[in-house]
């Protein structure tokens, strides 16, 4: 019986440690977006990509907004955004949809 208790306790300790690690959020919450003044577009084929926060490995760094060329075969530009998935913040890159 005593030989069985030690492995069971070890498994319980490892399981508790892994559960705590999975619940820990690797990044702090994303700061609110900064206010940007949007300049006039350089032409009708451009869409505004709003600024966003980028994680540099230590902290969030603001990336200013910019104009991007609108693709002819796509209609809607979806800006990149941070979403909370499974308890962790994940960056979803900007993309075009039809």
Residue 17: pLDDT band by 50, 70, 90 thresholds? very low
Instruction: Estimate to the nearest angstrom the gap between the alpha carbon of 74 and the chain centroid.
Output: 24
Mean pLDDT, range 4-10, rounded to an integer: 44
In a domain, 67, yes or no: yes
The pTM assigned to this predicted structure is 0.57
In a domain, 10, yes or no: no
In a domain, 49, yes or no: yes
In a domain, 18, yes or no: no
Residue 3: pLDDT band by 50, 70, 90 thresholds? low
In a domain, 14, yes or no: no
Q: Which has the closest alpha carbon to 94: 85, 84, 76, 86? A: 76
How many folded domains does the chain comprise? 1
Confidence at residue 66, expressed as pLDDT on a 0 to 100 scale: 92
Instruction: Estimate to the nearest angstrom the gap between the alpha carbon of 14 and the chain centroid.
Output: 29
Domain extent for 35: 27-97
């Amino acid at each position: 019986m005593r030989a069985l208790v030690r492995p069971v306790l070890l498994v319980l300790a490892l399981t508790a440690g892994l559960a705590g690690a999975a619940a820990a959020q690797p990044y702090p919450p994303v700061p609110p977006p900064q206010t940007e003044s949007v300049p006039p577009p350089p032409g009708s084929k451009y869409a505004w990509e709003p600024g966003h926060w980028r994680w540099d490995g230590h902290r969030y760094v603001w990336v200013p907004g910019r104009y991007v060329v609108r693709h002819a075969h796509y209609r809607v530009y979806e800006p990149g955004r941070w979403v909370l998935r499974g308890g962790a913040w994940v960056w979803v890159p900007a993309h075009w949809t039809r």
